[in-house]
Structure 1
Amino acid sequence: MTSSQSQRQRAQDMKNLDSLVLINKPLNPEIHYIGELQTPVIVIDDFTTDLSALQNYANQIDFNLDKGSYYPGVRAKLPRDYVIEVLNQVFQLIYDVYKIPKNLRIKPQATYFSLINRPPESLTTLQRIPHFDTPAPYYFALLQYLNDSTHGATAFFKHQPTGYERITQANMDNYFRAAEPYLQALAPFPAKYFVDSNEYYQQYHQVDYKQHRLVIYPGNLLHSTLVDQQTDIDSNPSSGRLTANIFINVT
Structure 2
Amino acid sequence: MTDVKPAKDASSSAKSLNSMVLVNKPLKPQIVYIGELKTPVIVIDDFTADLSELQACASQIDFNLDMGSYYPGVRAKLPKDYVIEVLNHVFQLIYDVYKVPINLRIKPQTTYFSLINRQPESLTTLQRIPHFDTPAPYYFAILQYLNDQPHGATAFFKHKPSGYERITKDNMQQYFNAAEPYLQQIAPEPAKYFVESNEYYQQHHQIEYKQHRLVIYPGNLLHSTLVDPNTDIDSSPETGRLTANIFINIE
Partner of 1:6: none
Q: Which runs of 5+ in 2 are unaligned?
A: 1-15
4+ runs deviating over 6 angstroms: none
Partner of 1:95: 95
TM-score (norm. length: structure 2): 0.93
Residue 208, structure 1, aligned to residue 208, structure 2: yes
Deviation at 1:20, TM superposition (A): 4.5
Partner of 1:10: none
Residue 42, structure 1, aligned to residue 42, structure 2: yes
Alignment length (residue pairs): 236
Deviation at 1:18, TM superposition (A): 1.9
Verify the 8 A CA contact 2:20 2:81 in the aligned structure 1: no
Q: Secondary structure at 1:19's aligned position in 2?
A: coil
Distance in 1, matches of 2:90 and 2:24, equals: 12
Over the aligned positions, Cα root-mean-square deviation in angstroms equals 0.8
Distance in 2, matches of 1:45 and 1:168, equals: 29
Residue 77, structure 1, aligned to residue 77, structure 2: yes
TM-score (norm. length: structure 1): 0.93
Distance in 1, matches of 2:198 and 2:166, equals: 18
- Return the structure number with greater helix share: 1
Q: Secondary structure at 1:245's aligned position in 2?
A: strand
Partner of 2:113: 113
Q: Secondary structure at 1:149's aligned position in 2?
A: coil
Distance in 2, matches of 1:75 and 1:20, equals: 19
Distance in 2, matches of 1:20 and 1:237, equals: 16
Residue 249, structure 1, aligned to residue 246, structure 2: no
Q: What whole-Å deviation, never above 9, does each CA across 1:57-91 have from its counterpart, x for those lacking one?
A: 00000000000000000000000000000000000
Partner of 1:18: 18
Q: Which has the larger radius of gyration?
A: 1
Distance in 1, matches of 2:198 and 2:148, equals: 31
Partner of 1:141: 141
Verify the 8 A CA contact 1:66 1:73 in the aligned structure 2: yes
Amino acid at match of 1:67: M
Verify the 8 A CA contact 2:40 2:98 in the aligned structure 1: yes
Deviation at 1:100, TM superposition (A): 0.3
Q: Which runs of 5+ in 1 are unaligned?
A: 1-15
Deviation at 1:27, TM superposition (A): 0.2
Amino acid at match of 2:49: T
Deviation at 1:19, TM superposition (A): 2.1
Amino acid at match of 2:165: E
Partner of 1:186: 186
Residue identity (%): 81
Partner of 2:5: none
- Relative distance call for 1:238 and 1:17 in structure 2 (3 A) is farther
Verify the 8 A CA contact 1:17 1:54 in the aligned structure 2: no
Amino acid at match of 1:31: I
Distance in 2, matches of 1:245 and 1:147, equals: 14
Verify the 8 A CA contact 1:157 1:201 in the aligned structure 2: yes
Amino acid at match of 2:157: F
